[in-house]
């Protein structure tokens, strides 16, 4: 899933605000360890792909299970991660479908230590509105310097 050179149609200001609010709640849930709530931000058949992983996670339950394992590994390292999304651009596909592109920075802070940048990425999502809520149908995270 990559951005093409075709003309994009920006979303309304109201929809843009809803998308930013979705991202804020979505990532705060992850950073707080609320994996079930975070995973509910994906459609049942959602996909989470990364350019550094051979296979994407497919389906909400698999996404939740894999992220739960990842957070357990972080807990063993005794670190806190914080995700920041910014520079969000949107492309309205239809009334209930939006493609977004954004930068994501992940900060990591060991207990008693100093925060540092753990990771810098570009994200591309296909968002769909279901039951009045935005959800991720497909997410591609591309790690910088890979």
Q: Report, as an integer, the average pLDDT of 32-59.
A: 97
Assigned domain for 2 exists: no
Counted domains in the chain:
1
How far from chain centre, in Å, is Cα 33?
Answer: 15
pLDDT at 146: 84
Question: What CATH number does the domain containing 125 carry?
Answer: 3.10.450.50
Residue 114: which domain range?
13-143
Dist. CA 129–CA 140, nearest whole Å = 18
How far from chain centre, in Å, is Cα 82?
Answer: 12
pTM: 0.91
Assigned domain for 3 exists: no
Residue-wise pLDDT for 93-137, tens only, equals 999 999 999 999 999 999 999 999 999 999 999 999 999 999 999
- The alpha carbon dihedral of 100, 128, 45, 84 has a sign of positive
49 in Cβ contact with 141 (< 8 Å): yes
């Amino acid at each position: 899933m990559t951005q093409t050179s075709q003309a994009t149609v920006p979303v309304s200001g109201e929809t843009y605000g809803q998308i930013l609010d979705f991202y804020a709640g979505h990532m705060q849930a992850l950073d707080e360890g609320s994996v079930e709530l975070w995973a509910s931000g994906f459609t049942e058949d959602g996909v989470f792909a990364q350019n550094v992983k051979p296979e994407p996670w497919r389906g909400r339950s698999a996404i939740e299970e894999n992220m739960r394992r990842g957070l357990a590994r972080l807990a063993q390292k005794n670190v806190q991660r914080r995700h920041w999304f910014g520079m969000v651009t949107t492309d309205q596909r239809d009334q209930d479908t939006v493609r977004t592109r954004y930068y994501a920075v992940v900060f990591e802070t060991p207990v008693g230590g100093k925060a540092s940048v753990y990771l810098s990425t570009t994200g591309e999502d296909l968002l769909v509105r279901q039951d009045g809520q935005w959800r991720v149908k497909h997410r591609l995270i591309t790690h910088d310097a890979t």
